[in-house]
Structure 1
Amino acid sequence: MSTRSYKDAVEQLNTLQSNAAALDAVRASGGRLSEFAIPEMLDYLERIGYSPGDLNALNVIHITGTKGKGSTSAFADSILRHAMPRWKIGLYTSPHLVAVRERIRINGVPISEEQFAKFFFEVWDRLEGTEPKLSTTSPMPGYFRFITLVAFHAFLTLQVNATVLEVGVGGTYDSTNIVPKPIVTGITALGIDHVAVLGKTLKEIAWQKGGIFKEGVPAFTVNQPEEGMSMLKARAIELKASSLTVSPSISALSDIKLGLAGIHQQQNATLAAHLVKSFLESQTSFQGSALLPSSFVKGLEDAKWPGRCQTVSDPNRVNTTWYLDGAHTTESLSCCVQWFVSPGVGLGSHGEHKENSFRVLIFNCTSGRSGPTFLGSVQSNVSSQLKKYGRTENPEFFFTHVIFCANVTYADGQFKGDLATFSIATDDLAQLKTQRQLASAWAELVPQFPSANIYVLPSIEHAVKEIEKLQLNSSVKVLVAGSLHLVGGVIEVAGLSGIAL
């Protein structure tokens, strides 16, 4: 390439995305391709100049789960940074909200565009200059595998003291699961609704997640359904983890205002505290006589994880507040609505909600997920929350407007480079099939809801423009949910990056 800028790196990276047809083929294989995942990832690692043992220098806290793994990773990262202020802490997460470099952070800050481009093309060149050793390995890895390689390369080059490593998908066959000996591993909640969505039993999901256990390495988890817990225990024995501990509750947490909103974050914060405590006891002279020393408390209070139960007051639009949560399962949506429909958030004081104020839901979900079930969950949780707080308003009209829009960033049909996706079927995107299905589901759930207030829109920019029309002489509270890609697009289009990220 003639230039090697960040934009160039993102464009090259996007060529590694799987399109909708390829993803369908993987699903149709029933997971048979998974058995090659780790050997292929090790092949790529060797081709960029590293051995698996080199990754042990990253001093990894490895975290997986179906709910809360990103939040737990954010808590763990923040606690570590406050407990060890002179250390260099790496954090690898997915997906990103606005810029792909958000996935690779040093001391809480995404690596710069210049750094990302540098590390990206170093990996790219090494792969282009070598041949795969395995017959199943393609010359270039897919999108997530490539970014994982870039993250490993960046963290090793920058010589981090510790790394919080979030699993992408599953555990056993995940691209991050090539670190031979992490310091400690953690498994967050195993979501019941993932059983239906993924077409797997809870036992199968637990088997996948437990695949990050390593010989001689302590493991922590949270209270799990019996079937899932039994499998995790079996996996811990099979893979010879030194221990598997269900993180005991920490009573002092109830007195802390966590940096991440939502009652469900108590469990994630608890797990993170136990993971970091175990890590520090192993790697330093830290003595955990007090489970929550002041540095831990400060870390929990200062933790940030954009796009998860996040409140953002719009600096550009008068009386407009955005409530951002990428919840994309029925369980996470329940937590999202419980957070939003509460005093001080989307629910004002008695009598506050007047004719000149609006509550808007902007929603999207990936094709194949159960939109009607999701929206039904939203409605039922709105109803229960209003009852909980003694509110008499009709839950069917809690939202004054609902907007179902595609995850396309701009009104001209283009994506921001970092947000481009090829995973949506072309005909679905062109005809807005998913969004129309969602609109029909809402109309069936709430038959009396004004049809004029139900929008099906082709882009996020269209949705933001509708909000701008409403905010004239009015107060607008906007809940954005159902997709982290949607949340990231709203942050980008509405110009919220400076305060939201």
Structure 2
Amino acid sequence: MSTRTYREAVDHLNSLQSNAATLEAVRASGGRLSQFAIPEMVEYLNRIGYSTSDLNQLNVIHITGTKGKGSTSAFVDSVIRAARPDWKVGLYTSPHLVAVRERIRINGAPLSEETFTKYFYEVWDKLQQNTKTASPQTPIMPGYFRFVTLLAYHVFRELKVDATVLEVGVGGRFDSTNIVPKPVVTGITALGIDHVSVLGKTLKDIAWQKAGIFKEGVPALTVHQPPEAMEVLKEQAAELKASEFIVVEETPGLSEVKLGLAGSHQYQNANLAVHLAKKFLSAQTSEPITEALPTAFVQGLKATKWPGRCQTVVDPGHHKTTWFLDGAHTLESLDCCMQWFASPDVALRSPETYGERTRVLIFNCTSGRSGNTFLGAMLAKANEQLKKHGHAEDAGKLFDQVIFCANVTYADGGFKGDLTTLAIPEADLTHLKTQHELASAWSTLVPDFPKENIHVLPSIEHAVKVVRNLDASGEKNVDVLVAGSLHLVGGVIEVAGLSDVAL
């Protein structure tokens, strides 16, 4: 007899993951399967008892982009909650750091295990019981992300939210979130050549994908973009009959606000969030907002939290250790990460003790990405930052120890349930192929870096143990930058026992 626990629900959910071979096949197809994505998602929605028009009642702010879509979503959520504390606001984002429940939030809080489990099985049972599909090619059960998206729709409907901030998973046009016929407003953050460029896509291709969230009669907002991307966004806004296409201008007074999220790049995200929130609240309340930056908006911007992005966490159990967490995993986001880390607010703080701290880099990236390029870009940005702030040393000396580890949670090769991934190729798990490539790249980029201080490790637990040993072995404080993968950051939060302070 099934006990129907949260742990069981997560196990069922993990069974819907695509393995590395399947993901590689989709990549190799050049994305040809995308044409089926929206019809299949609509079919799954119908099978759990909803029509797409039912989703209009969620009052959606739909957000995509290459950089900052998660942060912008977090800003919008916080601002709307501050402006309308009497409302119930749903936030759907991905991926999660430690628990899948983080993806679905009500008024800023992840669903409890009990609530997640209850609604999970309501969706799971309907899909299991109603197995008739319109096309024989449609899998009986949706993939992991599709299922969690369906679950979010169901939760927000059942809990009768007043507003839904909906972050796109990947792309936009063919994303599982893109079945809401009429959101209240749509927004696109900064565009660049991100990790989808491995398919040979141009910036115009990416802009076309992102612009797929524009809808007839719905305002479409974006930030200033590269000319070739802006041209496509304008064309698509006209073709899809958006009610207006707005390139948002800087909000007066915003630069003086101390945002809840660190990093200078967050001001562009916060600015777009302010404009999206204004459009949304004006539409929902029929009361135009004339003030440039209302007090409630400032409160919301200051209170915004988005774990794992340019986040500083003092270790609660090892006070000599400070963790600097940033799941940056594209060239653009790693550039922002190093701009933040190699600054007077972070690694260069307290100049008198700069040489008395041990600095550690824990890094990993997905198989297939260019570790050499990523590490080279990080070092180049660090060099630029060090010179800017009056440090004569080379960026290779910014870190005393570097650790390249697999995203496996525990030393025994196991994963925390919510962090289980089937997407790591078997060769990586067995031979740590990606991690050895990263170590080799680091040695090439920083040839005089001590070889004994370059670690290739099979798990996050192994990496945390190195940090713990450094903390225990001397008088120096330890600064640890964790970057390259949100999955890695989530694993560190879990293994190092940072959840209570980081999340």
Opposite residue 396 of structure 1, the aligned amino acid is G
Aligned-partner Cα distance in 2 for 1:55–1:164: 13
Gaps of 5+ in 2: none
Aligned to 1:138: 139
Question: Contact (CA 8 Å) 2:185, 2:220: kept in 1 or not?
Answer: yes
Aligned to 1:152: 153
| Equivalences for residues 68-467 of structure 1 within 5 A | 68-130=68-130, 131-194=132-195, 196-354=197-355, 356-467=356-467
Opposite residue 103 of structure 1, the aligned amino acid is R
Question: Contact (CA 8 Å) 1:257, 1:301: kept in 2 or not?
Answer: yes
Aligned to 2:477: 475
Question: Contact (CA 8 Å) 2:30, 2:199: kept in 1 or not?
Answer: no
Question: Contact (CA 8 Å) 2:66, 2:194: kept in 1 or not?
Answer: no
Opposite residue 420 of structure 2, the aligned amino acid is A
Question: Contact (CA 8 Å) 2:252, 2:293: kept in 1 or not?
Answer: no
User: What are the superposed Cα offsets for residues 70-127 of structure 1, whole Å, 9 maximum, x if unpaired?
Assistant: 0000000000000000000000000000000000000000011011111111101000
User: What are the superposed Cα offsets for residues 278-317 of structure 1, whole Å, 9 maximum, x if unpaired?
Assistant: 0011010433111210000000000000000000000111
In the superposition, relative to structure 1, how do residues 141 and 196 fare at CA in structure 2: closer, same or farther (>3 Å)? closer
User: What are the superposed Cα offsets for residues 354-405 of structure 1, whole Å, 9 maximum, x if unpaired?
Assistant: 3x42010000000011100100011111111111011123322110110000
Aligned-partner Cα distance in 2 for 1:195–1:37: 17
Gaps of 5+ in 1: none
TM-score by length of 1: 0.98
Is 1:33 the counterpart of 2:37? The answer is no
User: What is the CA distance between 1:14 and its match in structure 2?
Assistant: 0.3
Aligned-partner Cα distance in 1 for 2:167–2:396: 38
Question: Contact (CA 8 Å) 1:342, 1:385: kept in 2 or not?
Answer: yes
User: What are the superposed Cα offsets for residues 193-216 of structure 1, whole Å, 9 maximum, x if unpaired?
Assistant: 446434201111111000000000
The two structures, once aligned, show a CA RMSD in angstroms of 1.0
User: What is the CA distance between 1:429 and its match in structure 2?
Assistant: 1.3
Question: Contact (CA 8 Å) 1:52, 1:178: kept in 2 or not?
Answer: yes
| Identity over aligned pairs, percent | 67
Is 1:484 the counterpart of 2:482? The answer is no
User: What is the CA distance between 1:350 and its match in structure 2?
Assistant: 2.8
User: What are the superposed Cα offsets for residues 410-443 of structure 1, whole Å, 9 maximum, x if unpaired?
Assistant: 0010000000000111122110000000000000
**After the TM superposition, which of the residue ranges 59-68 and 194-203 deviates more from structure 2?**
194-203
Aligned-partner Cα distance in 1 for 2:403–2:195: 25
Question: Contact (CA 8 Å) 1:195, 1:202: kept in 2 or not?
Answer: no
Aligned-partner Cα distance in 2 for 1:350–1:46: 60
Runs ≥4 residues deviating over 6 A: none
| Equivalences for residues 39-78 of structure 1 within 5 A | 39-78=39-78
For the residue of structure 2 that corresponds to 1:353, the secondary structure is: helix
Question: Contact (CA 8 Å) 1:195, 1:201: kept in 2 or not?
Answer: no
Question: Contact (CA 8 Å) 2:193, 2:202: kept in 1 or not?
Answer: no
Question: Contact (CA 8 Å) 1:61, 1:185: kept in 2 or not?
Answer: yes
For the residue of structure 1 that corresponds to 2:253, the secondary structure is: helix
Aligned-partner Cα distance in 2 for 1:344–1:280: 35
Aligned-partner Cα distance in 2 for 1:28–1:192: 19
